[in-house]
Amino acid sequence: MSKKLPIFTLGVEEEYQIIDPQTRDLRSHLSKIVDGAKIILNEQVKAEMHQSVVEVGTNICQSVDDASKEIRFLRSKIVELADKQGLVVGGAGTHPFSRWQDQPITDDPRYHTIVNELQDAARSNLIFGMHCHVGIENREQGLQLMNQACYFLPHIFALSSNSPFWEGRNTGYKSFRTKVFDKFPRTGLPEYFDCVSSYDNYLETLVKTNCIDNPKKIWWDLRLHPFYDTIEFRICDMSLTVDEAMCIVALIQAIVAKLYKLNTSNTSFNMYRIALIKENKFRAARYGIEGNMIDFGLQKEVETKGLILELLDFVDDVVDELGSREQINYVHTILREGTGADKQLAVFEQTQDLTKVVDLITSEFTKGL
């Protein structure tokens, strides 16, 4: 009989666009939404670097169902508070036409420090992501799972792609958000670390040499969290709908659980060079789920959709124990109906009007709340 899996707790963070319903442009909410939300939600909501962004985070959740309830509640509350200010809320990795030059920075010492150091790379970082923490109590194990889970980052990223437009242009990418974020140091796919002490040594060296003032300024696509017992997946674009977000969260949790199961039964998962995984990440950013990725085992190009179906087979034996079958099955809907990026592009193709794309982003945000 196979051993029971531990509970892989979840924490989900989402970054929301605050939008003027008349102009459809991003709008500063002058921290009124965050201040109003803090009364109800305490530390679950915070301002971001740009004043038109609101970040929310769930409490520690025991299951995908719990996380789903929390995200629905958080989205509803922020919509309600925005409505009182005459504003609406949307979910996408970038705004279709807003110019970063026009968006004020939040007056906070932390953001002033980042802008002072990174200048226009920071000011232009007007992007919106979804981060998912998976609880791992043993940091050594967490590091090994981080090393192995890297291989699947492009698959997850392709499903989340939801930022085809930037400053009024169709960029030709399904996710341009990561291209914007690439200007920051310490971003992208993480390096391979053979043990926690070498990872911690790396962090300590950066702090000691004044490269960073705290280890949270490692902004990789996946990181062993410096303060919490989690590995944090940071590669995803912000999702249009709750269903898409929860599907991706369920997939992330299932990947970690499956790799854990293999590790504890002494079955190793093939490790591939980060330089190779970067090729798949580029393809995911450029084509989303519509292109091809490389199957490194077979050493040939295969359809991305086929690779994602193989991933579903790979995690299938842990899904029911995690209780996330319904959310994982939504992958088939995304493969059939397209990602957020595909939906945005379809609206633009029909209307040639980016304000209609914004209307899609704000209407889908509240779907199923």
SS3 assignment, position 325: helix
| pLDDT tens, position by position, 153-162 | 999 999 999 9
- Among 55-69, 93-107, 129-143, 331-345, the minimum mean pLDDT is found in 93-107
| pLDDT tens, position by position, 40-55 | 888 888 888 878 899 9
Residue 138: how many CB atoms within 10 A of its CB?
12
More confident residue, 129 or 31: 129
* Residue with the two structure tokens 């899904």: 319
pTM of this prediction? Answer: 0.96
CA dist list (Å): 343 to 14, 29, 109, 166, 336: 20, 27, 38, 16, 12
Cβ within 8 Å of residue 306, ≥6 positions away: none
Domain ranges (residues) in the chain: 10-365
High-pLDDT (> 70) share of the chain, %: 99
Q: Are 60 and 66 in contact (CB under 8 A)?
A: no
What is the pLDDT averaged over residues 271-281? 93
Class of domain 10-365: alpha beta
